[in-house]
Structure 1
Amino acid sequence: MPSDELNRLIDVQRTHAAQLLALPNVRGLAVGFKQTGGNRTGELAVLVYVQEKIDRDVLPPRDLVQIPDVVTDVVQWGRIRCGTSGIPVYAAEQDPLRGGYSIGRANGGAGTIGTICADARADDERVYVLSNNHVLATFPDGRRKDVVYQPALHDGGTREDAIGSLTRKVSIRYPTKGVIPWNQVDGAVVSVDPLNVEWSIADIGQVSGINTDPPLGTRVRKTGRTTGCTAGEIIGIGGCAAVVVDGSTAYFDLQLIVELKSDFGDSGSLVVDEENRAVGLLFAIAETYAVVNPIAQVQRQLRIEVARTVSKPDPEDPAMPAGLRNALKTMRKELAGVPEAVAISVGRSRTDEVTIDVRVTAAIPVPDRVEGYQVRMIEL
């Protein structure tokens, strides 16, 4: 891909973004490949996303998209929105917590746990649930006391399903007095018990790293609370969009535009490439498209790392109670040679009960309790 031309188009697009997004039908911009007859060509262009395609002959001159010295391509996008709720696929309670499932604040709908992540500081052992600001924080400016539930109350969760409260967020800025502040991230995290997490995303697995510069055409996928695991590809880079967030319009730039099936309630899903490297955080949808915050900005602004894990207590620690150590040894002996059993470790339930966690690739028979300790089977 000609990077010089790509960068030039991104710069030109950003220069004209505020002017173009002020047009009544324009909702977003990005740099991608021009389409001809429904097929993408190899020609780079500024893609102009409109709510509805209208014949230019009937548009007044003031509403025409005009960018000098660049190739443009007008694409119908429909309305671009952030939203929670929708009919869920992954709304069950997760114990331990894992990516891809329902989550929500007390007075909101339901979104998606993107993934379990760690603090950016190597000496900080805190563990977080990652999702969007508009999923975890009360509009317009959430506070640390905002309680978060899994599953979301909208999905049948109860007050007993509280997993923590809002820990960090990236505030979304809105236009004031005609000045447009550009946002890059709609993100927030909740600090949770490291003994009650699973470092994987449903139907995807564990995040293997990050991809901070994915090219056009990169194949990606996500697991969302509403539409489950879906796959697509990056079709726009350096995107700008006018997005309705909780009833007010906010402006985002330097976004990824992905052709990917998604719906309300998928907000907060982590988007990964085919090598399970994190690409970004899904936060808005428009028909068959999704707008994604690039992962480098998500990590920087929230001070997290999505590919670093925090170790749980060592099962061989001499300080561990003898009964718990014996329970681990018993389970390891019983499941030795069972190919579906991947790992056996110590966990903790939401009621603060120490557990024996058996991670499996498919359901297998396991006892309810061993040496008095609850046994939990966790399908990867």
Structure 2
Amino acid sequence: MAKKKSGSSASESKGKKQDNGDFDDPEGADVTEAEDQNGDELEDPVAEMDDMLDEEEAEDETDSDYAETAYSEAEGVDAPENVLEAKESIEAFIAGEIGSESYSAFDTSGTANIVGVGIGSAEVDMEQISEDGPGTATLNVYVAEPTSEEAVRAVLYDDMSVQSVGDDGMPVNIINCGPIDALAHRFKDRPAPGGISIGNARVNSAGTLGCLARGRRNPRNRRVLLLSNNHVIALSNQGRYGDSILQPGRLDGGVNTRDRIAILERFITIHFNGRANYVDCATGWCWHRRVRRELVYLSGGSRRYFRVASRPVACRRNMLVGKSGRTTQLRAGRVTDCNATIRVNYGSGRVALFRDQITIRGTSGQFSAPGDSGSLVWQWDRRRNPVGLLFAGGGGFTFANKIGRVLSALDINLYT
């Protein structure tokens, strides 16, 4: 935790710029130390948050639209027309099913067993290779329970009215990913790097600090922000502006306010009514001395730090990517799908529909596990350009939002 300067009081530090003149910290930057010493009630960390609340709520729909419209869903898709049409039909059916009053998150029978759809490449170890050979654009169908290709085709044809899959010549990969759940480095580190445990102080949980960012417009362009998932630091829409963000998260021993590094600053609402979501993301406003631009991983028991690029790149099928996260640390994987539509379980029977998502499979073991949510996904080369924001997984497959949609929705640029 940052030490309080000698002779400086909490009241004197409110609204004060740090000595490098580059950043504005949340107001009350030294209140944590004062509370530890005298037990006084913590002040509201950001006086302007109340004024911002109405504005943020009014802009929520607009922010969601940024994520929905800023990037084309067809980006990087090269597939036959019948494959694209089949994907669109399945997406529409899934969206309608989630939005219906009779829908249950715990049902895996019939059409409910199909939890996602996308477009990938036919691979040797998948169910089917088309007559055009490996690498051909293929319909990816994600299922919660193991089932045969014949059974999946029957559900698609008979129950979802996807006529084109009746043709055996249309390639289909059946991907047994299990139910897709929103996923939950455990040590404390100061300044805190990306790839490490964080969480909202109101709950006993932990996810991952993805990386740092800055707002694109005043006054947010003078703030150091941390990037993670809505469900990690904003509690799936239940968070309050100004909530303490701890490093490590409470599940990993974090204590409020001793381990506070940021406060909740903005999040994009997740819809649970069948309306399409494109991002699960949120930002925290950091005390800039308590965070760092590097990411971390462990090697031989020692902490190693590295930087990633700030300029995002579009995903491509078969792209080699990496991430550093709270649970599985540094892992490599390959993109298998750049346009997946999936149903994601958020607990308590809540299911959200996500479109235009990235699917990743680990190159050696799992790419992610619960607690890795919020990790930044980057291209595995010497430049390490950002590709996505990890948020969910199931059955050995990991799912990530496209980073371009995340940046547009939150109106930020990466600060890495």
Fold conserved between structures, TM > 0.5: yes
Partner of 1:18: 92
Equivalent runs, 1:173-322 vs 2, <5 Å: 173-175=271-273, 180-203=274-297, 205-247=306-348, 248-260=350-362, 261-274=367-380, 275-306=383-414, 308=415
- 2:140 match: 47
Judged with a 3 Å threshold, the aligned counterparts in structure 2 of structure 1 residues 93 and 165 are, in CA distance, closer, same or farther, namely same
What pairs up with 1:323-334 in 2 under 5 angstroms?
A: none
Report Cα offsets for 1:201-232 as digits up to 9, x if no partner: 11372121334322111000100100110000
Secondary structure of the residue aligned to 1:207 is: coil
CA 36–163 in structure 1, closer or farther in 2 if over 3 Å, else same? same
Q: Provide the identity percentage.
A: 28
* CA 1:65–1:289: 2 relative to 1, 3 Å: farther
3-state SS of the aligned residue for 2:173? strand
Once residues 65 and 283 of structure 1 are traced to their aligned partners in structure 2, the CA distance between those partners, rounded to angstroms, is: 31
Q: Name the CA shift for 1:134/1:164 in 2 (closer, same or farther; >3 Å).
A: same
Q: What is the TM-score when the length of structure 2 is the normalising length? A: 0.66
Q: Is the 8 A contact 1:112 1:266 kept in 2?
A: yes
1:145 to partner: Cα distance: 3.0
Give the Cα–Cα distance (whole angstroms) in 1 for the partners of residues 77 and 288 of structure 2: 45
Structure 1 length normalisation: TM-score?
0.72
- Deviation sequence 1:308-358 (CA, Å, 0-9, x none): 35xxxxxxxxxxxxxxxxxxxxxxxxxxxxxxxxxxxxxxxxxxxxxxxxx
* Aligned residue number for residue 318 of structure 1: none
| Map of 1:97 onto structure 2 | 192
Moved more, 6-15 or 195-204: 6-15
Tell me whether 215-224 or 132-141 shows the greater mean CA deviation.
132-141
RMSD: 2.5
SS of structure 2 residue aligned to 1:68: helix
User: One-letter code of the match for 2:138?
Assistant: A
Alignment partner of 1:54: what SS? coil
Counterpart CA distance in 2 for 1:52 and 1:229 is 29
Per-residue displacement from partner, 1:101-144 (whole Å, max 9, x unpaired)?
00011214100000111222388221111110000013443220
Gaps of 5+ in 1: 85-89, 310-380
The 8 Å contact of residues 315 and 358 in structure 2, kept in 1 or not, is answered as no
Instruction: Label 1:38 to 1:267 Cα distance change in 2 as closer, same or farther (>3 A).
Output: same
Report 1:117-136 matches (<5 A): 117-121=213-217, 124-136=221-233
Distance 2:315 2:78 in 1: 16
Moved more, 269-278 or 210-219: 210-219
Distance in 2 between residues matched to 1:91 and 1:47, nearest whole Å: 35
Please state how far the C-alpha of 1:91 moved relative to its aligned partner. Answer: 1.0
Q: Which protein has greater RCO, CA pairs closer than 8 Å, 6+ apart?
A: 2
Asked whether the equivalents of residues 212 and 294 of structure 1 are also in contact (C-alpha less than 8 Å), the reply is no
How far apart are the structure 2 equivalents of 1:58 and 1:118?
A: 49
Q: Give the distance between the partners of 2:162 and 2:138, measured in 1 at CA.
A: 13
Flag the 1:37–1:226 CA change in 2: closer, same or farther, 3 A.
closer
Asked whether the 8 Å contact 1:110–1:265 carries over to 2, the reply is yes
Compare the two structures and name the one with the higher helix fraction.
2
Runs of 4+ residues over 6 Å off in structure 1: none
Matched AA of 1:294: K
Amino acid at match of 2:370: F
Q: How many residues align?
A: 298
Alpha carbons 1:139, 1:246 under 8 Å: kept:
no
Are 1:116 and 2:199 counterparts? no
Q: Deviations along 1:71-120, whole A, 9 cap, x unmatched? A: 32211111210131xxxxx1111210210100011214100000111222
What is the one-letter code of the residue matched to 1:181?
Answer: R
1:164 offset after TM fit, Å? 2.6
Unaligned runs of 5+ in 2: 1-74, 98-110, 298-304
Task: Check conservation: 1:210, 1:279, Cα contact below 8 A.
Answer: no
Relative to structure 1, the CA distance from residue 4 to residue 242 in structure 2 (aligned partners, 3 Å threshold; closer, same or farther) is closer
How far off is 1:28 after superposition? 1.1
Distance 2:407 2:79 in 1: 25
Task: Report deviation, 1:14.
Answer: 2.8
Between 12-21 and 192-201, the greater mean CA deviation after superposition: 12-21
SS of the residue corresponding to residue 300 of structure 1 reads: helix
Query: Which whole-Å deviations, capped at 9, do the CAs of 1:20-54 have from their partners, x for residues lacking one?
Result: 57412111111101234449821111100111232
Cα distance 1:57–1:213, how it changes in 2: closer, same or farther (>3 A)?
closer
